[in-house]
A and B are shown apart, each in its own frame.
Chain A
Amino acid sequence: MSAFVRRSWVARMLMASLMLTVVAQGSVPADGDAAARPKLAIKAAKILTMDDDDTVINNGVMLIADGKIVAVGKQSKVDIPAGFDVIDHGDDWILPGLVDCHNHIAGSLFDLNDGVYLTNPGLRTVDVVTPRNENLENCLSGGVTSVLLIPGSGNNMSGFGTTTKTFGNSTEEMVIKAPGSLKIAQAGNPERYWYRVGRRFMNWNLRQTLEKAKLYHDGWTAYQKGEIAEPPTFDIVWSDFRDLFDGQFPVSVHTQIYQVYMTTITMLRDHFGLDVVTDHSTFDSYKLASLIKERDMYAIVGPRVFHFDSRDRTINGCAARFAEQGIERLGINTDAPVIPQEDLSYQATMACWYGWNDHYAAIKGITRIPAESLGIIDRVGSLEAGKDADFGLWTGSPIDPRSVCKKTFVDGRIAYDVEVKRRTR
């Protein structure tokens, strides 16, 4: 019996080591390998560049090399240099990789809320980015290439988010910016913390936390300017807030419902002077669109898409209501896994169904606008020379649920191919 056990143990060890070798050789291509990031010239019927001029190129070609876009233009005007493999995608559309500024699935989902205190400043989601997890692999099939991984909304302040690609073999490869945002949650979920804290306390709590952070930042700024001789004591709790107050990244706020939304604007934007990205923006927060407009803020709507107003018995598309009041910096999010990440485009579809009548603006709301709001527009969110080669090849408009994303490229590499890996989308 013991011999059998021992033999089987040896066999298992052998198997395990064999499998490890296979995994190491098979699934992880060497980074920077030229074969993994080929030089490609991709022809397509339509290229939605989503650039400043809203250029749409019919019969276009896009050149990519070393994970970057080299050129985008009409097939008749762009010369394809030697060494570029030509892929003709006929009737398909090329779109920038979709960007979502509210995502939880780039982590393991077991690290959503660290509810130790009601505010947990200093925590970073960059620690929990989980490359190639199943949810990320699914999300590539929906053409989503960049997301903001943020902690959950179980606390008032739950730490720093990370803007990351959805494809890559390591955190280093994937991460665009860390910290990518500060996550704040007002009302709703944090109310469930311990003895049911109310909104007055939560607002005070946020203010006092941010005031402390600002003091720390001001102290260091004064030291760096030479106004004070002694450097303040280093504090790991507040160190990341320095970039926040310098405007390096925004606050992404879980905020919805009129009164809460108002506090977001007046407290975070007006009082603290922070760049604010309002996630959710649902329920009746569209009634504050004029405030958003005055301040040129970004309103990102989701995962709810409509609000039933029982007072006038109407069903209002949240995005539609913002749009009709002249909000142009209007985006869509999913709050994955509340809505599966690959359904980002379908969220925009629904925004359209519920009255956002601008089809193009809706596409912008899932590409350029979220990238702008997160301050990563220099790398992703549109198709322009010099930017990351993140894009999707679609059979038509991504807003139309009948369109398929056939291929997704991240950093010039094929991250998803419908012919190779047929998934749920």
Chain B
Amino acid sequence: MKHLLTYFIAGLIFAMLASGIAVQAAPTTDPSSDDEVVTTQPDKPEKKEKKKRRGKRGRKGKKGKGDESTSQPSSQPSSQTSSQPASQPADEAESQPASEPEDKGPEYLAITGGIVHTVSGADLRHVTILCKDGVIEAIGSQVDVPEDADVLDVSGMHIYPGLVACEARGIVGREPAEDTTNVFSTTLRLANTAGITTVSSRTSAAKASYGVVENLPLRNDLFVSIRYGRTAEQRELRESLEKVRQYLRDLEQYEKAKAEGDEDAEKPDESVAKENQAAYKLLKKEAVALVYAEEKTQLIELADLATQFGFDLVIRGASEGWIVADRLGRAGAKVIVSPRRQVGANPYLVQESGNNIENAAILYQHGVDVAVTPSSSGISLVGLGGRDMQHLAMEAAYAVRGGLPEAAAIESVTLAAARALGIDDRVGSIEVGKDADFAITDGPLLDFFTQVQWTIVNGEVVYDKAQESFYAHIRPREGTDEVNETYSFWPRPFKPKPAPAPGEGGRYGEGD
């Protein structure tokens, strides 16, 4: 894996050096470029590299990303639209720099059929989702699908936005994710089988796409991790916040005075901001505070602090949040909870304590943005199923058991999770302009017979259940050849004797 990654990076550097024009021509038109500041620019040269790599992988016959254009009968849907001139895409193609001969234009993926659960709005039926270069270009029943688009027919399926796994471990690497992630790891593969397309680990968010390195990091520096537990920590943070608040007020005064023409105005000391980076970022709303807190006292303190200083707060844990939900709601806090997590009540307290199955529901009722993540944050093959990221959707179903509305539960693993991470401008719902990340399931997401059939990340099919031996044999998809021949090495090589009557001796019996 390491070698592959190294070769790839080397190739990337070489390609960038060789074609300087490509780098110059990087800022091309992009539908999402308005709200996209950081990530689009370096994408384009990588795009070219991706093409190359993909071809290479195809020659090798490496399994992983099923080529949907061959496996799907694309002729029928595209023939309907072939007569129509695809004017818009053509313009886009022309705007591409001519110096990229192998880049034949934008990549299209059209997903037809299925019930679209947009999460941000109504559920849609009989619509086509057109994705262009990894971004949702259009959603509607009258979408012009370009001739060269890959078409994925998912009739009878449910299309959800790709699930967002908050606080995951061992799926993608730490910052910088593009260097530390093993994109061929089994865990990453399993994350895709669970419909997970975005993973946050510590302070960064990245895409989870098996076998694809491009466009992997989504956003770094999502959070400022603060500690607000022990008295010393509390004093330190509070002092730091107060200093910065004073500084910001002084700065405002100074700028106001300067604008009014006051020459004697004294500029406040800038070192305050530098010395108290975390507090500065928080108060300038450049970052969100992420705090691990479970107990109600701590939660109240945090809510008060956030209200007093006016910064955005995300609380991980919050198992006693249901007791102080109103305070958290007023503070505008977001929470990342694990509904199944069990925290025993403190037997020495008369007041309520410990977790409650209704935690998520009560928090939601009080206006707290609820994201759900399992308390076991990785994916394990040990066999104790249903407790980790593999069953993120089931964790949300547990919140429903506690009274959370189903729509809110679906949101809690998609859009609300994205909001908690501050990446809801890119992922979390099915909307035009957002990333083309989907989890396409064979039933309602929260149903326990439901499995993910396709996972699409950045407009590419990274998981097709029928093409992957893990789950292909479980309730195989209709119309697909079951790839995995169950028990290909079975029956056993010997025939056991017929069962003797109880007590009449077997292997250890008389004369045996």
By a beta-carbon cutoff of 8 Å, the part of chain A in contact with chain B is: 134, 138, 207, 266-267, 269-274, 282-283, 287, 290-291, 294-295, 303-308, 311-315, 317-318, 320, 338-340, 346-347, 349-350, 352-355, 357, 359, 399-404, 422-425
Measured CA separation A314–B469 after assembly (Å)? 5
Contact B386 A353 (CB under 8 A): yes
Within 8 A of A (CB), among B454-476: 469-471, 473-475
Measured CA separation A93–B449 after assembly (Å)? 20
Measured CA separation A315–B381 after assembly (Å)? 9
Measured CA separation A291–B358 after assembly (Å)? 45
Measured CA separation A291–B506 after assembly (Å)? 13
Q: Which residues of B lie under 8 Å from residue A317 when comparing CB positions?
A: 474
A-B pairs with lowest CB-CB distance, top 3? A270-B506, A273-B503, A304-B383
Residue B18, interface by CB 8 Å: no
Measured CA separation A7–B164 after assembly (Å)? 62
Residue B101, interface by CB 8 Å: no
Q: Which residues of B lie under 8 Å from residue A308 when comparing CB positions?
A: 381, 383
Q: Which residues of A lie under 8 Å from residue B451 when comparing CB positions?
A: 353
Known: A267-B508, A273-B503, A290-B496. A401 touches B475 (CB 8 A): no
Contact A349 B500 (CB under 8 A): no
Q: Which residues of B lie under 8 Å from residue A273 when comparing CB positions?
A: 501-504
Could you write out 20 A-B pairs with CB less than 8 Å apart?
A: A266-B507, A266-B508, A267-B507, A267-B508, A270-B506, A271-B505, A306-B385, A307-B383, A312-B484, A312-B488, A313-B469, A313-B470, A314-B470, A350-B386, A353-B451, A355-B475, A400-B447, A401-B394, A401-B401, A425-B401
Known: A287-B492, A352-B448. A294 touches B499 (CB 8 A): yes
Q: Which residues of A lie under 8 Å from residue B484 when comparing CB positions?
A: 312-314
Measured CA separation A307–B380 after assembly (Å)? 11
Q: Which residues of A lie under 8 Å from residue B448 when comparing CB positions?
A: 349, 352-353, 399-401
Residue B261, interface by CB 8 Å: no
Known: A312-B469, A425-B357. A295 touches B503 (CB 8 A): no
Q: Which residues of A lie under 8 Å from residue B398 when comparing CB positions?
A: 401-402
Measured CA separation A346–B386 after assembly (Å)? 8
Tally of A-B residue pairs with Cβ under 8 A?
133
Known: A353-B449, A355-B475. A339 touches B384 (CB 8 A): yes
A337 to nearest B CB, angstroms?
A: 11
Q: Which residues of A lie under 8 Å from residue B342 when comparing CB positions?
A: 138, 340, 424
Contacts A134-B344, A269-B506, A290-B496 known; list 14 others, CB within 8 Å: A271-B508, A314-B486, A315-B381, A315-B471, A338-B384, A339-B384, A347-B386, A350-B391, A355-B473, A400-B448, A402-B406, A402-B446, A424-B356, A424-B357
Measured CA separation A304–B400 after assembly (Å)? 25
Known: A134-B344, A291-B496. A402 touches B469 (CB 8 A): no
A88 to nearest B CB, angstroms?
A: 22
Q: Which residues of A lie under 8 Å from residue B509 when comparing CB positions?
A: 270-271
A303 to nearest B CB, angstroms?
A: 6
Contact A315 B500 (CB under 8 A): no
Known: A315-B470, A315-B471. A402 touches B500 (CB 8 A): no
Residue B490, interface by CB 8 Å: yes
A296 to nearest B CB, angstroms?
A: 9
Q: Which residues of A lie under 8 Å from residue B496 when comparing CB positions?
A: 290-291, 294
B211 to nearest A CB, angstroms?
A: 16
Measured CA separation A338–B384 after assembly (Å)? 9
Q: Which residues of A lie under 8 Å from residue B400 when comparing CB positions?
A: 401-402
Which residue in chain A gives the minimum CB-CB distance to B386? A350
Which residue in chain B gives the minimum CB-CB distance to A355? B474
**B344-386 interface bits toward A, Cβ cutoff 8 Å, 1 = contact, 0 = none:** 1000000000111110000000000000000000000111111
Which residue in chain B gives the minimum CB-CB distance to A347? B386
Which residue in chain B gives the minimum CB-CB distance to A269? B502
Measured CA separation A310–B502 after assembly (Å)? 36
Residue B489, interface by CB 8 Å: yes
Residue B498, interface by CB 8 Å: yes
Interface residues contributed by chain B, number (CB under 8 Å):
50
Q: Which residues of B lie under 8 Å from residue A312 when comparing CB positions?
A: 469, 484, 488-489
Contact A320 B502 (CB under 8 A): no
Residue B408, interface by CB 8 Å: no
Contact A305 B384 (CB under 8 A): yes
Residue B397, interface by CB 8 Å: yes
Specify which of B484, B505, B507 lies most central, judged by the most chain A CB atoms within 10 Å of its CB: B507
Q: Which residues of B lie under 8 Å from residue A425 when comparing CB positions?
A: 357, 401
Contact A353 B498 (CB under 8 A): no
Contact B356 A422 (CB under 8 A): yes
Partner of B384, one of A304, A313, A320, A349: A304
A247 to nearest B CB, angstroms?
A: 8
Q: Which residues of B lie under 8 Å from residue A291 when comparing CB positions?
A: 496, 499
A179 to nearest B CB, angstroms?
A: 19
By a beta-carbon cutoff of 8 Å, the part of chain B in contact with chain A is: 342, 344, 354-358, 381-386, 391, 394, 397-398, 400-401, 406, 446-449, 451, 469-471, 473-475, 484, 486, 488-490, 492, 496, 498-509
Which residue in chain B gives the minimum CB-CB distance to A353? B448
Known: A271-B509, A295-B499. A287 touches B490 (CB 8 A): yes
Q: Which residues of B lie under 8 Å from residue A318 when comparing CB positions?
A: 383
B478 to nearest A CB, angstroms?
A: 14
Known: A294-B498, A304-B383, A425-B357. A404 touches B474 (CB 8 A): no
Measured CA separation A290–B492 after assembly (Å)? 10
Contact A303 B384 (CB under 8 A): yes
Contact A423 B357 (CB under 8 A): yes
A24 to nearest B CB, angstroms?
A: 20
Contact B475 A357 (CB under 8 A): yes
Q: Which residues of B lie under 8 Å from residue A349 when comparing CB positions?
A: 386, 394, 448
Contact B506 A271 (CB under 8 A): yes
Which residue in chain A gives the minimum CB-CB distance to B446? A402
Measured CA separation A287–B494 after assembly (Å)? 12
Specify which of A270, A271, A273 lies most central, judged by the most chain B CB atoms within 10 Å of its CB: A270
Partner of A404, one of B386, B401, B449, B492: B401
Known: A314-B470, A402-B400, A423-B357. A305 touches B385 (CB 8 A): yes
Measured CA separation A307–B506 after assembly (Å)? 29
Q: Which residues of A lie under 8 Å from residue B503 when comparing CB positions?
A: 272-273
Which residue in chain A gives the minimum CB-CB distance to B484? A314
Contact A271 B507 (CB under 8 A): yes
Contact B386 A311 (CB under 8 A): no
Measured CA separation A354–B509 after assembly (Å)? 39
Measured CA separation A271–B505 after assembly (Å)? 4
A182 to nearest B CB, angstroms?
A: 15
A215 to nearest B CB, angstroms?
A: 14
Q: Which residues of B lie under 8 Å from residue A355 when comparing CB positions?
A: 473-475
Q: Which residues of A lie under 8 Å from residue B358 when comparing CB positions?
A: 422
Q: Which residues of A lie under 8 Å from residue B473 when comparing CB positions?
A: 314, 355
Known: A270-B500, A271-B507, A273-B504. A353 touches B385 (CB 8 A): yes
Measured CA separation A346–B342 after assembly (Å)? 15
Q: Which residues of A lie under 8 Å from residue B486 when comparing CB positions?
A: 314
A44 to nearest B CB, angstroms?
A: 19
B508 to nearest A CB, angstroms?
A: 4
Measured CA separation A306–B471 after assembly (Å)? 11
Measured CA separation A43–B397 after assembly (Å)? 27
Measured CA separation A311–B384 after assembly (Å)? 20
B87 to nearest A CB, angstroms?
A: 46
Specify which of B357, B489, B499 lies most central, judged by the most chain A CB atoms within 10 Å of its CB: B499
Q: Which residues of A lie under 8 Å from residue B489 when comparing CB positions?
A: 311-312
Q: Which residues of A lie under 8 Å from residue B355 when comparing CB positions?
A: 424
Contact A207 B474 (CB under 8 A): no
Measured CA separation A312–B473 after assembly (Å)? 11
Contact A354 B394 (CB under 8 A): no
Q: Which residues of B lie under 8 Å from residue A422 when comparing CB positions?
A: 356-358
A297 to nearest B CB, angstroms?
A: 9
Specify which of A355, A400, A402, A403 lies most central, judged by the most chain B CB atoms within 10 Å of its CB: A402
Q: Which residues of A lie under 8 Å from residue B401 when comparing CB positions?
A: 401-404, 425
Which residue in chain B gives the minimum CB-CB distance to A315? B470
Measured CA separation A398–B401 after assembly (Å)? 11
Contact B385 A354 (CB under 8 A): yes
